[in-house]
Amino acid sequence: MKIVVHGGAGKIPIEDQPDRKAVIDEAAEVGLAEDAPLEAVLAAIEVLEDDPLFNAGYGGNLQLDGEVRLDAAVMKDDLSAGGVINVEQVKHPTAVARKVMEDSPHVLLQCEGATEFADQFGMTTTEDLKSSKASERWEEISAEVHGLPYAEKLAKLAEMIEGHDTVGAVAWDGENMAAGTSTGGLRYQMFGRVGDSPIIGSGVYCNEYAAVSTTGMGEAIIRVNLARELVYHVERGESPQDGAEKSIERLKASTNSQAGVIAIDRQGRVGSAYNTRDMQYSVKET
């Protein structure tokens, strides 16, 4: 088994970097102990979803209305895929995404429908998913936009919205591959906003050639279909590393934005690239 796990791209506070890297390494080790790529991806991501240092699960950003809503998607190399958008009361949205893939006739479920689906399978929680760190950040921005007319509020959000620390993993067992991505979305995003993470081809993609997870500014990632773009390069015979670098270059040239990617191909070759200041990731193999 070989696994690559990332903890998001952006400006990671210097003081948090050692602790975050230790958790990412732990997540990779946990995933490595599994027997199949999808199980490895899910196990690794759930470690990150449990840790408030990351913008996923319990550490997910609060949206502008003060609620935590999460996005996630998983995909296998046979093109089976599942995802959830703006799901509530769920600590492990990747687990729900897997259920959508395996136990529903759909690929994506959103909002109340996704939450109801999770509840039917006993995957919702009464636990408070608002971490103290995320709540403090929300209180600061909420005070600044409270009472503003709608148009002014949108303009203010455009200046202040941030958060690139989506998490994800890709894995290969010598035969098959899987990929997954999980996020709390942009900090202070409006209710109803959909980022790249649950979008097949943007935040995650996996086929018989390669598995990819992305992180960064979702609106830009969606515009260039970043995960699928990387896989196109591998399909043309390029290495995952070359594909990762070229995909990030294209995103920068086309959108002047920032992102990071990790990838693994059917030969077990790994690729990673980013144009943010930081992106921590871990590669482990047995």
Residues identified as active-site: 166
| Residue 133 phi, psi dihedral angles, 5° rounding | -65, -45
Q: Please count the helices (runs of H) and the strands (runs of E) in the chain.
A: 9, 11
Query: 151 and 40 in contact (C-beta within 8 Å)?
Result: no
Asked whether 179 and 211 are in contact (CB, 8 A), the reply is yes
Contact present, 205 and 211 (Cβ < 8 Å): yes
Candidates 203, 187, 235, 286; CA nearest to 6 is 203
Kind of pairing between the strands at 278-285 and 167-172: unpaired
DSSP string over 147-215: T--HHHHHHHHHHH-B----EEEEEE-SS-EEEEEEE--SBTPPTT---STTSBTTTEEE-SSEEEEEE
Residues whose CB falls within 8 Å of the CB of residue 150, separated by 6 or more in sequence, listed in order: none
Looking at 236-273, list the stretches that DSSP marks H as alpha helix, in order from N- to C-terminal side.
240-255
Burial 112-123 (b: 16+ CB within 10 A, else e): eebbebbeeeeb
**CA angle at 193 for the pair 150 and 253, rounded to the nearest 5°:** 105
